[in-house]
Amino acid sequence: MWGLSTQAAATVYVATIRHEARRAFDVCSKTYRLVIRPAYGFFGAVEADAYGSRVMMAESEKAIVDALDRPA
């Protein structure tokens, strides 16, 4: 959405405050990984259209800060 990449990511990272037993799972040949974050880390998000579904997505600045905070 922000033009940061023209390729679909091999792994989709989903931030959550819930501690789930399963941190990674596959759906339709796509890997999803849950990243546990504290509640105060959820800011800088906007509602966006992702292939016909409304989802919450990090603003471009927040995405960069998150990537710098946890590069692994």
pLDDT in tens, 45-70: 899 887 888 988 888 888 888 888 87
Residue 4's pLDDT is 60
Identity (one letter) of the amino acid at 63?
Answer: A
Of residues 70, 56, 57, the one with CA closest to residue 2: 57
List, in order, residues 6 or more apart from 55 with CB less than 8 Å away: 47, 48, 49
What percent of the chain is predicted at pLDDT more than 70?
85
Question: 42: which 2 tokens?
Answer: 């959820």
Mean pLDDT of the residues in the chain: 80
pLDDT tens-digit readout, 6-37: 566 778 888 888 877 678 888 888 888 888 88
Distance from CA of residue 8 to its chain's centroid? 13
